[in-house]
Amino acid sequence: MSNFIQLHFLTAFPAANLNRDDTGAPKTVMFGGATRLRISSQSLKRAWRTSEVFSEQLKKHIGIRTCRIATEAAKIMMDGGVDQKTAVKWAAEIANKLGKAKKDKDSSSLVNTETEQLVHISPEEMEKVRVLAKRLSEEKREPTEEELAIFQNKNHAVDIALFGRMLASSPKFNVEAACQVAHAIGVSASVIEDDFFTAIDDLKQEADDAGAGHLGETAFGSAVFYNYICLDFDLLVKNLDGDEPLAKKAVIALVEAALTTPPTGKQNSFGSRGYALWALAEKGEFQPRSLAAAVCHPISGNNMISDAITRLETFRENLNSVYGQQTAFRKFDVTKPSGSMSELLEFVGQWAGYGSISDISTIRANGVVGRVCSGRS
């Protein structure tokens, strides 16, 4: 059996549009017969892996996701004296090994070095591309088939190890995600509203025109969101080529980022900043399960946060009772307050091999986790 960490937490946002659909409105889902606000897992993961807590402290182990990998190779070759048309031709060969290269009518255009799809590569793989480009520019020759083998099974990119990688052109280098992230859903029914706004032209004279310089509207909604993460620690270590210390650092950084970093959608318009109000971490070898069914019936009333906490904790206890599970856990509750994030990180850290709060503090001080967040117990 694998060792799993599960993290359940609640976040609350008033007027917000953190994650938009194709019409610009907040994403929604029908659940329990009611429309709920939703934040996609893709939006959440993007916010966490690019957060200060996660990306800056683990930046030497963060992959690159782009369609312009071979474009950088072409630029290196051109800087080394290779003419643009030749550099583009050689770089296009690299692009076709990473995915499918784009085609432009102009054979010398750098567009030909871009891939049709985004490619997620590790820092080590990106360095192989840079070294190859420099070698080709020095030796003034096209790449060999052996040199075009960019991808590698040994991987130390934490975000690839956590969230996976799929390469249609090179499936043997696919990486199964060690971390599963559910779409965050509102615990109550929600109504999407429209904010009608105007902008005034500062230089316009009232005598000329008394109207606004711009009219517009933007959709928004509010909700308390239930969030769920499941992490297979054994698979994470395997994905990182057995680098258990790096896997431990990644777990702690991910948990703190998830609890403190919301998506960035419409932040300037709504200031939708918020930390988790309640969180519960579980660990063990049992089959993971979400607690979303606890809020299948939408919550209403004036005590939405406390009612949601009660439902989730009761539902978890009921599940454990019915299925005969004894799950170790740690939690904090900002509304009381009780527990702390430091204690929760200590719990996760002990499971992953660290010993105490002092150990976690040392990890943070050494730059593994961004900020020390004290809490009351």
Residue 324 shares a structural domain with residue 185: yes
- Of 213 and 32, the structure prediction assigns the larger pLDDT to 32
pLDDT, one tens digit per residue, over 62-107 is 999 999 999 999 999 999 999 999 999 999 999 999 999 999 999 9
Q: Which of 157, 171, 167, 161 is nearest to 234 (CA)?
A: 161
- Determine the pLDDT at residue 59: 81
Residue 56 shares a structural domain with residue 101: no
Amino acid at 233: F
Residue 52 shares a structural domain with residue 70: no
Residue 123 shares a structural domain with residue 52: no
Q: Which token pair is 84?
A: 């643009």
d(CA 276, CA 333): 9
d(CA 312, CA 249): 28
- pLDDT of residue 368 exceeding 50: no
pLDDT bracket for residue 213 (50, 70, 90):
confident
- pLDDT of residue 360 exceeding 80: no
- Determine the pLDDT at residue 278: 98
Q: How many domains does the chain have?
A: 2
- Of 59 and 275, the structure prediction assigns the larger pLDDT to 275
Handedness of CA 24, 25, 28, 30 (dihedral sign): negative
Instruction: Judge whether 95 lies within some domain.
Output: yes
Residue 104 shares a structural domain with residue 20: no
Q: Which of 173, 347, 348, 336 is nearest to 251 (CA)?
A: 348
pLDDT, one tens digit per residue, over 3-45 is 899 999 999 999 999 999 999 999 999 999 999 999 999 999 9
- Determine the pLDDT at residue 106: 93
**Which element (helix H / strand E) includes 376?**
none
pLDDT, one tens digit per residue, over 42-62 is 999 999 999 999 988 898 899
Residue 228 shares a structural domain with residue 289: yes
Instruction: Judge whether 210 lies within some domain.
Output: no
Residue 319 shares a structural domain with residue 276: yes
Residue 48 shares a structural domain with residue 140: no
Residue 226 shares a structural domain with residue 351: yes
- pLDDT of residue 370 exceeding 60: no
Residue 91 shares a structural domain with residue 28: no
- pLDDT of residue 342 exceeding 80: yes
pLDDT, one tens digit per residue, over 101-135 is 999 999 999 999 999 999 999 999 999 999 999 99
Instruction: Judge whether 226 lies within some domain.
Output: yes
d(CA 328, CA 344): 12
pTM: 0.86
Q: Which domain holds residue 250?
A: 4-61+179-193+221-334+342-355
d(CA 66, CA 117): 8
Instruction: Judge whether 216 lies within some domain.
Output: no
Q: Which residue spans within 159-277 are E strands per DSSP?
A: 179-181, 184-186, 193-199, 214-232
Residue 232 shares a structural domain with residue 328: yes
